[in-house]
Amino acid sequence: MDPADLSQEGSGARKKTALLLLGCPEVPVQMGIALYLANRLEKDGVSAVVAGNPSVIQLIRVSDPDQHYVKRVMNLEKAMADLIEGRMRPDLTVSFAHNDAGISYAATVRHVSASPLYLIVFGREAEALAGLAEFECEKIVERAVHNPAQLKKKIDKVFGWAASKS
């Protein structure tokens, strides 16, 4: 399926769509969390496309050659152009940020898209970076660099995937 299918408009019970916008792949937790999120959203019936720069796309394709976890990938610049021009209207967007540029991308998404925005802020400067995001979004903030466990736990809680203790 082409990523442009994210722009499909409701004709009956269409599948919900999610856009995952990844930043620079230099912080290891990003890739693990992206694979997890894409797969978990698909299990929830949400069609996910992961957008990133060419390195991100290569990392995904090498890590997941049979596309078990990530079904679709997209060039980041094209994804932003499609969002800005209204050619793509995902039901939700998850934006990853571990640097100033990541917050800039999320701010742009917030401005051009009315759908819910989840901002995952990670890395050594996570708290300070999260403070730059003064726009409406659901922030998930964790000072994670190598180990994604705590960040995953927070994501599970926000998305309602946390295991019940009862």
Interface contacts to other proteins, rule CB under 8 A: 22-24, 26, 52-53, 55, 76-77, 80-81, 83-84, 99-105, 107-108, 110-112, 132
Shortest distance in whole angstroms from residue 23 CB to other proteins: 5
The b/e string for 116-150 (b: 16+ C-beta within 10 A; e otherwise) is ebbbbbbbebbeebbebbeeebebbbbebbeebee
Shortest distance in whole angstroms from residue 83 CB to other proteins: 8
Determine if residue 27 is left, alpha or beta; phi over 0 gives left, psi from -120 to 50 gives alpha, anything else beta.
beta
Of 40 and 53, nearer to other proteins (C-beta) is: 53
Shortest distance in whole angstroms from residue 152 CB to other proteins: 22
Would you say how long the chain is, in residues?
166
Of 46 and 83, nearer to other proteins (C-beta) is: 83
Of 105 and 159, nearer to other proteins (C-beta) is: 105
DSSP letter for each residue of 11-48:
SSSPPEEEEEE---TTSTHHHHHHHHHHHHHHHTTEEE
Distance of CA 95 to CAs 1, 125, 145, 154, Å? 22, 16, 17, 15
Shortest distance in whole angstroms from residue 122 CB to other proteins: 14
Of 55 and 63, nearer to other proteins (C-beta) is: 55
Of 15 and 124, nearer to other proteins (C-beta) is: 124
Shortest distance in whole angstroms from residue 37 CB to other proteins: 18
